[in-house]
Amino acid sequence: MIVGIDIGGTNARALLIDPTSAQILDRRQVSSSGTGPQLVSTLAQIVETFDENSSQPVDAVGLAVAGLAHRSGVVRYSPNLSDLLEFPIGPDLEELVGRPVVLGNDATAGALAEHRLGAGRGCDNFGFVTLGTGIGTGFVLDGRLVKGASGFAGESGHMVVALDGPVHVTGMQGPWEYFGSGNALGRMGQEAAAVGGFPAGVALAGSVDAITGNHVSDALADENADAVRIFDEFCRLVAVGVSNLVMIMDLEQIVVGGGLVRIGEPLSSGIQNHLGQLIVGSGHRPQVEVVLAQLGADAGALGAGLMAVDLL
């Protein structure tokens, strides 16, 4: 048996996975707060509980975190988990549970899961793009997961798309995730409402400042014309980053994941509609397919588990 755990800023989602069928046999969710040693102790308890309740022993553990997850098992830097700065979570957990532990970036793990079990099946060159608070990405090229030199591949949300643009909360000037994340959709709703261009959003949220991406997507579901316009511009800005990734790596498919996936088909077709204009020579290359992720919030934990399977 395999345990895959996605450690988010608030909670850790743990799955017990059958390594042969990749089926989820059990699941648990715990708080991820506390110091590094406290978290390691919490994770070790989960592994032992899974082990005790399972018909077969746990053979290996996979962990996923946002940010710079080193191949060695050290979290070099995670924006959501400041307590884990330069913390050797992999080696420490490995010592405590006596089983091999592998650490990966959450979006990279998600890409592996969508490749093996989800929307990326049968596609050897694709990008997994999660749209949430920020933007996370993972890549499969020639059928192989791209980890990068240290394991840090996929930090594409920080890619500069506006040299002289606004400074993001990360300190970067004009990064893709300033324009293309779920937070950006809410900001664009507020900006439109502030000049009287989104009264439906104000009605839904109560005030201009209270408008979030959810209000824009709710108004979009109601076919509100302002929301349609705001959302189309948002999709264009997502597509700018996507087209950069396609031109750099020649991806044939983009799997869109993260919180915004609940918007559904308007999101995938909205992004795809702008790619033809943005990709140079698009008349001479196959159309890039934009599809929705299939594994939802389990993608990171499943992918972490699959990384651990590859250890065996």
Contact between 281 and its own copies by CB under 8 A: the answer reads: yes
Sheet holding 24-31, edge to edge: 24-31, 11-17, 2-7, 60-65, 101-105
**CA dihedral sign of residues 129, 293, 140, 274:** negative
Residues β-bridged to residue 155: none
Q: How far is the CB of 55 from its own copies (least distance, A)?
A: 36
Contact between 271 and its own copies by CB under 8 A: the answer reads: no
Among 5, 102, 159, 254, binds its own copies (CB under 8 A): 159
Site for its own copies in 203-222 (CB under 8 A): none
Site for its own copies in 75-114 (CB under 8 A): 76-77, 85-86
CA distance 107 to 231: 24
Contact between 244 and its own copies by CB under 8 A: the answer reads: yes
Q: Which stretch binds its own copies (CB under 8 A): 9-17, 113-121, 185-193, 237-245?
A: 237-245
Choose between 172 and 210: whose C-beta lies nearer to its own copies: 172
Choose between 77 and 210: whose C-beta lies nearer to its own copies: 77
Q: Which stretch binds its own copies (CB under 8 A): 17-25, 52-60, 153-161, 256-264?
A: 153-161
Choose between 85 and 221: whose C-beta lies nearer to its own copies: 85
Tokens of 54: 């399972």
Q: How far is the CB of 257 from its own copies (least distance, A)?
A: 17
Contact between 280 and its own copies by CB under 8 A: the answer reads: yes
Q: How far is the CB of 67 from its own copies (least distance, A)?
A: 7
Choose between 25 and 161: whose C-beta lies nearer to its own copies: 161
Tokens of 22: 């990749």
Residue that the structure tokens 């924006």 belong to:
79
- C-alpha distances (whole Å) from 283 to each of 238, 241, 269, 278, 279 are 21, 19, 18, 11, 9
Contact between 310 and its own copies by CB under 8 A: the answer reads: no
Q: How far is the CB of 65 from its own copies (least distance, A)?
A: 13
Tokens of 211: 């408008």
Residues β-bridged to residue 63: 5, 103
- C-alpha distances (whole Å) from 13 to each of 7, 55, 196 are 6, 21, 42
Choose between 104 and 201: whose C-beta lies nearer to its own copies: 104
- C-alpha distances (whole Å) from 42 to each of 13, 31, 38, 81, 91 are 12, 9, 6, 15, 15
Return the DSSP state at 287.
P
Among 210, 228, 249, 311, binds its own copies (CB under 8 A): 249
CA distance 25 to 19: 11
CA distance 85 to 24: 30
**CA dihedral sign of residues 166, 262, 189, 224:** positive
Q: Which stretch binds its own copies (CB under 8 A): 54-62, 166-174, 212-220, 256-264?
A: 166-174
Among 179, 198, 231, 234, binds its own copies (CB under 8 A): 179
In the complex, the residues that contact its own copies under the rule CB under 8 A are: 67-68, 76-77, 85-86, 124-125, 137, 139, 141-142, 144, 146-156, 158-165, 170-172, 174, 179, 237, 240, 243-245, 247-252, 278, 280-281, 284-286
